Structure 1
Amino acid sequence: MTHERAEPDREKVEYELRGKTLKVYAHLLRVDSSGVREIQRDLGFSSPSIALHHLEKLERLGIVGQDNLGRYFIARKVDVGVLSAFTSIGRLTLPRLGFYAAFFTTIAIAYLLESGASANLYAVVGTVGGVIVFWYEAWRAWRKRPF
């Protein structure tokens, strides 16, 4: 029964969290908390009411909260849409595929250093091919980032 309730909520969040609302959410992920005017200036909105509209939408979804000083903060992190391709470490947000790319790059370099001239051609081609694909996909995800 809980699972049935969670799915429509996730679908609603995924539907609502796009465009300028997604930009506001991504901005709040980068900073601890922010006021309406700060968000308006940082994101280049024409008026504070636009920022407030998107903040209120995020607040209705339960993603954003407001403190006593009127500053907004992330109340619940969500992993939907384009955001699922990223992972956060502190304030740093990186493409998930970047970790695989770094891992395969390390494996390829270690294999080439260890085997030298006697390296198996299939192993080298397969590993280097994987490295190229993972770095390319990580770069594509980085270009599509909403923040």
Structure 2
Amino acid sequence: MKNHITLIFLSILLCGCSGGYPELGNGYKIVGEGGYETAVVNPENTVMISGYILDYATDSDFILISQSPSDSLPPMNFLLYTDSDREEIAMDNTIYRTYWIIVKNQPNKYSYDSTTQFATYSNVHGPFNKLEYRNLRSRLNVSNDLKLLNE
């Protein structure tokens, strides 16, 4: 009986943790295994942006992402990760971050540079520092209403 209750508790806990990741539109979504391991995937579940997703904003045309490598983040001192935990970390100006823009209306064409061994997708732009990100936002005519928390 004790094992039965433990199994039920673990099932509820595991199922409850997976539902917190948002849909970003056009089949894009954030997925993760808990903690600092999150990624943005396309409709085919191919990872477009990996690492820790600090913040995101989306509209019908664009997905804006601020991201940080997991090893650049403070030790996690909480058992269950919530959206308010993510927001608190996203507002921390001391955390290293890069910026990405996904153009939802453009084709998602894959290419691979064998010299650098780097895969790219035609509609995924980044990683950028803040200045490069702002310049691309302007060139792509991203609405001023669409913003990240720490922009």
Whether TM exceeds 0.5 here: the answer is no
- Which of structures 1 and 2 has the bigger CA Rg? 1
Pick the structure with more strand per residue. Answer: 2
Pick the structure with more helix per residue. Answer: 1
TM-score (norm 1): 0.21
TM-score (norm 2): 0.21
